[in-house]
Amino acid sequence: MDPLAPLMSLPGVADAAEAARQAVDRLLTHNAMRRHATSVAVEAGLRCARASAALEGHDVPLAALRSDAPEDPVVRGALRVAAELRPLVETWEHAPLQALARMHTLAASGLASGDELGRPRPSDEVSARLATLVSVLSSTSVPAVVAAGVVHGDLLALRPFATANGVVARAAARVVLVARGLDPRAVSAPDVGCARDAAAYFAAAAAFARGDVAAWLLLWCDAVAHGALEGVAIGEALLRGSG
């Protein structure tokens, strides 16, 4: 039995997942993808990194990120994770825990001590829940956006590392969206959708930790749909610039 199948029966979740899929599909078939997909992916990654750091309280304007190397270690970590998205996807497909360790090493360099980088907190609960998460993912066929939402919410709730858990959780969710084929070109920016309303994001994450999975999945699906719109806006700007 699919361990995540019951989530699709929660009120509104199936419709929200389908709306997110349709939004990303519209992005993937946008005219800009024929000539500018790589540039859209780079810009989407930059915007995801900026949004993810902002959710941690480290908000840097995009213009500043483009012109200077940031000094803020949280921002630098988010940028490093975004830059290595493709290798992380490749690792995730055969070794999810190894990919998580790499995400943490990238995100937490300069924040965590050397012996903490890439290593989950020494806890039987953490080890068991990470193993369960990997097992669940290997045996589910729910839509990619729902699987990514579970990964995202569970990592936020578990906080498996000493620091940088939010950046890692959002990066892992984006990796799942790419690895499971919803956004194979990594041209959407779901973290931007999450950062639209930080208070709502954290409230939904807290609800997930208490067992209210539906509220979290609805917010996450909406964030993914908004991230697709962000990708469309990036593509249209590139088309105007090349016209």
**Structural domains present in the chain:** 5-242 (1.10.3290.10)
Residues above pLDDT 70, as percent of the chain: 99
Q: 32 by DSSP, 3-state: which?
A: coil
Q: Which of 15-24, 112-121, 222-231 has the lowest mean pLDDT?
A: 112-121
26 touches 228 (CB < 8 A): yes
Q: Length of the chain in residues, anyone? A: 243
**Tokens at 11, concatenated:** 């009120």
Residues above pLDDT 90, as percent of the chain: 93
Q: How far apart are CA 176 and CA 124, in angstroms?
A: 25
DSSP state of 112: B
pLDDT, tens digit, 9 for 90 and up, residues 221-243: 999 999 999 999 999 999 998 65
CB atoms within 10 A of CB 3: 15
Rounded mean pLDDT, 86-100? 97
Centroid of chain to Cα 56: 14
Q: How far apart are CA 16 and CA 223, in angstroms?
A: 10
Q: Which of 102-106, 114-118, 129-133, 157-161 has the lowest mean pLDDT?
A: 114-118
**Tokens at 45, concatenated:** 């990654």
Distances (CA, A) of 99 to 8, 56, 86, 134, 173: 27, 21, 11, 11, 12
**Tokens at 20, concatenated:** 């997110």
